């Protein structure tokens, strides 16, 4: 029997998580919610997802637009094992009382504060912490990218301080109401950016300081990371450790990966919607100078958290252990292929 999962908020993350759930043998999408009857709502119905109104009073608006709607979010949630809340930043916390009232488990996304959930989650770093839990937060795209990289290095080598600079895509491609046309925005201007403390919500023993800048691009974030190494380590040993982790993809400038534009061009051939679930780490950026490891990676913000949501569902509902879950998610999403 497949477990039933609801998606509350069928937007950038919600639609990707819904499609990823549909590929899993042990779970199914019970329904998705939308606030308005736009093209995304019509597409959800076309794909066969049962649509519900995220705002109960709006059922009529969908009916008037001629879109089949199965009821309100509350009606959807009455018949599910778990809800993945993919509503906009801070709205997840407003939805939490409904999940508490109905007694269902919920996953929140990185736009929520860490105290919304019992655990801040990253599959490879702390799967076990989410086992059986009621509320889990899958950390943001930048934090997922940083956590995967740091955890993978830390698992094999003893590390000291981490410093990282995030060069952030300003908005997602669909966001036509906001943006930054011609400028580089230190965001935040004051130290530190929230990414460092957010990494510590998953890896509490990592000493990390981060800074961040927004730049006028929509494709990917880029991270420039420096990690102190306690022991003498070779650059090849670092490459080997990163190459062994399926959720990290090593790329080379020699193959034509000269910028995020080329990484996305590659992903366009590889996956639907150019979803790149893996950290794209430039193998030739890996350098060790005076005991410090330098590395540059690119992160596709719209898709990197998708496998993490699938593994969080399995951990919370105790469907599989860490290794089995990650393996199944990687297989179904063709990660590491």
Which residues belong to the active site? 141
Contact 153, 227 (CB under 8 A): yes
21: tokens are 């759930």
Nearer to ligand NAD, 110 or 246 (CB): 110
Nearer to ligand NAD, 113 or 322 (CB): 113
Q: From CA 319, how far away is CA 3, in angstroms rounded?
A: 9
Nearer to ligand NAD, 57 or 205 (CB): 57
Q: Which helix (H) or strand (E) element contains residue 70?
A: none
Minimal distance, residue 86 CB to ligand NAD, in Å: 5
Residue 20 φ/ψ region, left for φ over 0, alpha for ψ in the -120 to 50 degree band, beta for the rest: alpha
**DSSP characters for 200-230?**
HHH-TT--EEEEEEEES-SS-EEEEEEEEES
Minimal distance, residue 132 CB to ligand NAD, in Å: 24
Q: What is the 3-state secondary structure (H, E, C) of 94-150?
A: HHHHHHHHHCCEEEECCCCCHHHCCEEECHHHHHHHHCCCCEEEECCHHHHHHHHHH
Q: From CA 330, how far away is CA 153, in angstroms rounded?
A: 20
Question: Which residue has the closest beta carbon to ligand NAD?
Answer: 11
- Which residues contact ligand NAD by CB under 6 A? 8-14, 33-35, 54, 86-89, 91, 95, 109-112, 140-141, 172, 301-302, 305
Nearer to ligand NAD, 165 or 300 (CB): 300
Locate the DSSP E strands across the chain: 3-8, 27-34, 51-53, 82-85, 105-108, 119-121, 135-138, 159-169, 185-186, 208-215, 221-229, 248-251, 279-282, 287-289, 292-299
Nearer to ligand NAD, 89 or 230 (CB): 89
**What is residue 44's three-state secondary structure?**
helix
Minimal distance, residue 234 CB to ligand NAD, in Å: 34
């Amino acid at each position: 029997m497949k477990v039933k999962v609801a998606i509350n908020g069928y937007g950038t993350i919600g639609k990707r998580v819904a499609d990823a759930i549909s590929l899993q043998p042990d779970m199914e999408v019970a329904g998705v919610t939308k606030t308005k009857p736009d093209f995304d709502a019509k597409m959800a119905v076309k794909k066969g997802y049962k649509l519900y109104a995220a705002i109960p009073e709006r059922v009529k608006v969908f009916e008037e637009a001629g879109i089949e709607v199965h009821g309100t979010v509350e009606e959807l949630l009455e018949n599910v094992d778990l809800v993945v809340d993919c509503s906009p930043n801070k709205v997840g916390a407003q939805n939490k009382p409904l999940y508490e009232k109905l007694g269902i488990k919920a996953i929140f996304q990185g736009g929520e504060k860490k105290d919304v959930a019992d655990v801040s989650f990253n599959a490879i770093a702390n799967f076990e912490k989410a086992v059986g839990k009621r509320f889990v937060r899958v950390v943001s795209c930048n934090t997922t990218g940083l956590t995967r990289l740091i955890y993978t290095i830390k698992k094999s080598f003893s590390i000291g301080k981490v410093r990282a600079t995030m060069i952030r895509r300003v908005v997602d491609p669909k966001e036509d109401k906001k943006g930054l046309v011609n400028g580089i925005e230190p965001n935040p201007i004051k130290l530190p950016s929230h990414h460092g403390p957010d990494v510590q919500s998953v890896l509490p023993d990592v000493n990390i300081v981060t800074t961040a800048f927004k730049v006028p691009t929509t494709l990917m974030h880029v991270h420039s990371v420096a990690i102190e190494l306690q022991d003498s380590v070779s650059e090849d040993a670092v490459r080997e450790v990163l190459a062994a982790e399926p959720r990290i993809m090593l790329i080379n400038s020699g193959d034509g990966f000269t910028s995020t534009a080329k990484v996305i061009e590659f992903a366009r051939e590889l996956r639907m919607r150019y979803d790149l679930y893996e950290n794209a780490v430039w193998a030739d950026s890996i350098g060790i100078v005076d005991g410090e490891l330098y590395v540059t990676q690119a992160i596709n913000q719209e898709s990197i958290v998708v496998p993490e949501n699938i593994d969080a569902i399995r951990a919370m509902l105790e469907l599989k252990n860490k290794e089995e879950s990650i393996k199944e998610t990687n297989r179904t999403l063709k990660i590491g292929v």
